[in-house]
Amino acid sequence: MSAAGGTVAQAVGAALVRCGVGAVFGVVGSGNFAVTNAMVAAGARFVAARHEGGAATMADAYARTSGGVAAVSLHQGCGLTNSLTGVTEAAKSRTPLVVVTAEATSPRSNFAVDQWALAEAVGAVPVRVTAADDAVAQAAAAVATARDDRRVVVLNLPLDVQALPASPGEPPVAGTPSPVPPDPAAVQRLTDALRAARRPVFVAGRGSRGPGSRAALEELADRCGALLATSAVARGLFRGSAWDLDVSGGFATPLAAELVSAADLVVGWGCALNTWTTRHGRLIADDAVVVQVDLEADAIGAHRDVALGVVGDVRAVAAAVTAQLGEPATGYRTPEVRERIARRGRWRHEPFEEAGEAGHVDPRTLTIGLDDLLPAERVVAVDSGNFMGYPSVFLDVPDESGFCFTQAFQSVGLGLATAIGAALARPDRLPVAALGDGGALMGAAELETVVRLGLPMVVVVYDDAAYGAEVHHFGPHGDVLDTVRFPETDFAAIARGYGFDAVTVRGVEDLAGVAAWVAGPRSAPLLVDAKVARERPSWWLEEAFRGH
């Protein structure tokens, strides 16, 4: 589409789509009306959210799950500030995202705010279109930066510039740069470390979710006898492997924690090896050799000291090491370890004592029951809170695209919007949103979005009538908890008001309503209002609060 005859707003919208943005989420106001319509006219899908925070998180989840660049479209001033929690989460997660936001021209405008400073403050890359003659090039550069550098770019469109006649011309479309080959000396050192290891463990993170990375890592692990684990955001990457330990860190099974702790070599592949993945460092033995492979040199050693850092693409580094490694080694892959993983490799294999609170279902029993009932081809999104460990480990996922974990900012209230974005990226799978009662109420406006879009979603609300994390953190010390406890909410009634089917679960027998919905016709989304046991904290909670 030529920019001739249109405005800057129209040219920028068309350029963003031409450069690869296929989906845009937002709330449309006067300031972003023209650019949003231009994106739609150029072929992008627009998804209207009910709150800008939800729109930003939907776009974040869509980009993570699809592997492409997504966009958010926002009104000037309050539109951007409403979105900032979602934008911050995306920026911390290095999600490729373009935030297209109008910007007030006059400092006397009610909408005037320092949008450049806001973007910088949350870790995004600010850009401002200041003239018609370079508007298209600025838009193209914003997409390239988001895609190639894995950054959130805030593209400011001042109102006076938007209205200018566009300069003629097509947006330049930059090719994706080839990954820089890893340093041969670093590859050799990693090869030597793997040859010397007797109990190697690979921990794969967000940087291992790219095409071909699983195959490259599994081939290398087969050669050196490594066990396979992931950070939470990459959960499911090695699903189906006999050597898959599932998640390392606070969500690790007792067996996974034992085996990772006994490793003599731990390699983080596109993984920060941060406090959550290593249980504040205690999961890795003091005498273990720690290696980190990452595209970003600054990421290596950012959270802990490492013996070796290799800068490079996960797939390329793994392939280079495999080519040098030589004869296969047994490593950690003994028949006894394989049998133990098969027997105790998932949390549902661990015995537990039922909570036994009348009128309240044990969240473990609930989640295991849902795991058995819901189709295996699913994409699970989890909000933040005391409950979050249960769906994160008891709901299985088919692969890394089946789990969307927007927790880099640890904000409550992002879970439902996350599920919407992931569902739109993977329409072939059943979307499951796992929320606490606090997060469900924060994001309740987007229940309408689920119904309007016709998503066959299952929303599970783990209702303990409280901010459970605070209850269990401060309660044992005798603190007054009136500020974090609430009356019980009838989430089923709320959901029906939006057009959901709904079932209230107080015991495992109530899951019959879920089974009936799964059997069909699934003409409306389903909300499961689960009244969960309240007296015990999640097993991971004490560990989590060590990071506060």
Sort 287 into a burial class: Cβ within 10 Å, 0-12 / 13-18 / 19+: exposed
What are the counts of helices (DSSP H) followed by strands (DSSP E) for the chain?
Answer: 22, 18
pLDDT band at 286 (very low <50, low <70, confident <90, very high): very high
Min mean pLDDT across 254-268, 379-393, 474-488 is at: 474-488
Determine the average pLDDT of the residues in 346-357.
91
The more confidently predicted of residues 399 and 168 is 399
pLDDT at residue 2, as a whole number: 42
Q: Which residues pair with 34 in a beta bridge?
A: none
* φ/ψ bin of 166: left (φ > 0), alpha (ψ from -120 to 50), beta (otherwise): beta
Query: Which helix (H) or strand (E) is 92 found in, with range?
Result: helix 78-92
Determine the average pLDDT of the residues in 58-68.
97
pLDDT at residue 547, as a whole number: 56
Sketch out the chain's domains with CATH numbers: 8-163 (3.40.50.970), 184-345 (3.40.50.1220), 356-546 (3.40.50.970)
pLDDT at residue 544, as a whole number: 66
pLDDT at residue 165, as a whole number: 96
**pLDDT, tens digit, 9 for 90 and up, residues 227-241:** 999 999 999 999 999
pLDDT at residue 362, as a whole number: 95
Determine the average pLDDT of the residues in 345-355.
92
What is the percent of the chain with per-residue pLDDT over 70, rounded to a whole number?
97
The more confidently predicted of residues 68 and 5 is 68
pLDDT at 289 over 90: yes
Query: Which helix (H) or strand (E) is 245 found in, with range?
Result: strand 244-247
pLDDT at residue 226, as a whole number: 98
pLDDT at 185 over 80: yes
Pairing of strands 152-158, 97-103: parallel
**pLDDT, tens digit, 9 for 90 and up, residues 402-452:** 999 999 999 999 999 999 999 999 999 999 999 999 999 999 999 999 999
Min mean pLDDT across 73-77, 498-502, 533-537 is at: 533-537
The more confidently predicted of residues 142 and 5 is 142
pLDDT at residue 426, as a whole number: 97
pLDDT at residue 470, as a whole number: 87
Strand 244-247: give its sheet, edge to edge. 244-247, 227-230, 200-204, 265-269, 289-294, 308-311
* Cα separation, 86 vs 118, whole angstroms: 13
pLDDT at residue 3, as a whole number: 43
pLDDT at 548 over 60: no
* φ/ψ bin of 191: left (φ > 0), alpha (ψ from -120 to 50), beta (otherwise): alpha
The whole-chain average pLDDT of the chain stands at 94
Pairing of strands 289-294, 308-311: parallel
Q: How far is CA 472 from CA 12, 120, 385, 537, 538, in A?
A: 50, 35, 11, 6, 9
pLDDT band at 1 (very low <50, low <70, confident <90, very high): very low
* Cα separation, 399 vs 376, whole angstroms: 10
* Cα separation, 36 vs 9, whole angstroms: 9
Sort 546 into a burial class: Cβ within 10 Å, 0-12 / 13-18 / 19+: exposed
